[in-house]
Amino acid sequence: MMNVVGLSEMDSIGDYFTWSNKQNVGTIYSRIDRVLGNVKWFQDHLDYHLKILPPSISDHALLCVEGYEEVVQNSWNRPIRGTPMHVLWQKLQRLKPELVQLGKSMTNTKHELVKARRDLELAQNATTHNRMDGNLIDTVKRCTDRVINWNEMEDSMLRQRAKVDWLRMGDENNAFFSFYHQVQASE
């Protein structure tokens, strides 16, 4: 799935494993917590580093994207005047767009798909005037490959979203039926 949608795992420093069952017998270690991004996100955030911290009381290790703290700290440390509540509110309001920008790790698939389709249409229209131009034919092929790639990514993301929704609804349904059967059994 990661290859299909163009994601890679961020390199990290610290312990390799991010989860443990913390049992004496049958100890299990796993790397289930990860930071993923696409090429553009990694290029835009070359100065960010993932540090895997000790898990403390949790069975999950803490993941710290270094660079994120700097964004928050830089925003937070710029002075604002007013009452303490006003200062807090203004700092949170100022920080929000910076965090939104930081969180845009995924390319907007729908937007890229529309752009790829438009580029393909333009390339195909250009070949109607010169059907034997090798460069134009190569451009159509590249554009076609991009449309197929973005279609596959969108399809994969939609399937993944549907699975998550189904699992979430499935859990809600199980809870309802479990409650229903408990009520029936007690009657």
CA distance 26 to 131: 66
pLDDT tens by residue, the chain, 187 residues? 888 888 888 888 888 989 888 888 888 999 998 888 888 777 777 777 888 988 877 788 888 887 777 777 888 888 999 999 998 889 888 888 877 666 554 446 778 888 989 998 898 888 878 878 888 888 988 998 888 888 887 777 677 666 656 655 655 555 555 555 565 565 5
Distance CA 84, CA 90 (A): 10
Q: pTM of this prediction?
A: 0.41
Question: Tell me, what's the pLDDT at 8?
Answer: 85
Q: Supply the pLDDT for residue 160.
A: 66
What SS3 state is found at 186? helix
Residues 113 and 130: their CA atoms lie apart, in Å, by 26
Q: Which of 79, 66, 12, 8 is nearest to 39 (CA)?
A: 8
pLDDT for residue 107: 47
- Reported residue count of the chain is 187
SS (H, E, C) 120-154: HHHHHHHHCCCCCCHHHHHHHHHHHHHHHHHHHHH
